[in-house]
Copies of this chain bind each other. A is one copy, B any other.
Amino acid sequence: MNPTIERLQSHRSIRKFTDQKIPREAFETFIRAGQSAATSNHVQAYSIIHVVNPENRRKLAELAGGQAYVVDSSDFLVFCADMKRSTEAAERAGAEVIRGMTEQLLVASIDTALMAQNIAVAAESEGVGLCYIGGIRNDPAQVSEILRLPEHVYPVFGMCLGYPDQNPEVKPRLPLAAILKEDYYLDHQDQSLVAEFDNTMRTYYAARTGGTKDTTWSEQLKPLFTSKLRPHMREFLLGKGFEMK
């Protein structure tokens, strides 16, 4: 295994950072590496807000569910799906633009994720740790207000970047056979593979907590699906011009 793949496989979220700042040059290199990711039809449907203002970081940390590392990390980014720049460019070139297609929401969200993951990989290759902040979608309307996001731009997730001040274990993943299928989506084996993974996670949680945390993957998923997770997202996206037509 080459060092790049070793790095990829040793990824874990970092939520405690030293005071050391990422040099600006390295930071920009990470962003450029992000831009190098594939992009649907070259549309590059993303923008990144680099949140420097301490008061705004404090507010965003709170909105994300009280995540202190949004404040304490060296750099905090909000990744936005951006259909504004490209559609306006096409308009200036004379196009009668159609907006609000479901496909556009997908393209922009996927473009943004591919770019962000390249940034994550680049950062980790330089010893920088990170965690994604999905909690940015807890209150995307207020996040948008703080960051002054216009129509046709929505905040997909945040990312904390900095030098790790902790060394957490790598979290196990589903068995390969559960997610990789040949030719057809056959899931007759999935129940036993999930059961196997439930055991893996039970062992993992027990080991990390000296036996006090007794739970499984399936158990941990329950609260995610029994409540209406972020039920505001539909209305929020509609209001931002992502009409899912």
Q: What residues make up the interface of A, taking CB atoms closer than 8 Å to B?
A: 1-5, 7-11, 13, 28-33, 35-38, 40-44, 46-53, 56, 80, 82, 84-90, 92-99, 101-104, 106-107, 109-110, 113-114, 116-118, 120-122, 125-126, 131-132, 134, 137, 147-150, 153, 156-157, 170-171, 173-174, 176, 178-187, 190-191, 194, 198, 216-222, 224-231, 233-234, 237, 244-245
Contacts and interface: CB of A to CB of B under 8 A. Distances in A.
Contact of A125 (B5, B48, B101, B107): B5
A225 B3 contact: no
Given A3-B4, A48-B181, A182-B50, A173 B137 contact: no
Copies in the complex: 2
Contacts of A95: 221-222, 225-226
Contacts of A4: 3-4, 7, 121-122, 125
Contact of A35 (B3, B42, B86, B179): B179
B183 A228 contact: no
A87 to B, nearest CB: 5
A85 B44 CA distance: 31
Given A31-B180, A36-B170, 19 more contacts: A5-B30, A5-B126, A8-B36, A41-B221, A42-B171, A42-B217, A47-B185, A48-B180, A49-B181, A50-B180, A85-B194, A95-B226, A98-B227, A101-B228, A101-B233, A101-B234, A103-B229, A107-B229, A113-B113
B217 A52 contact: no
B103 A137 contact: yes
Contacts of A48: 179-181
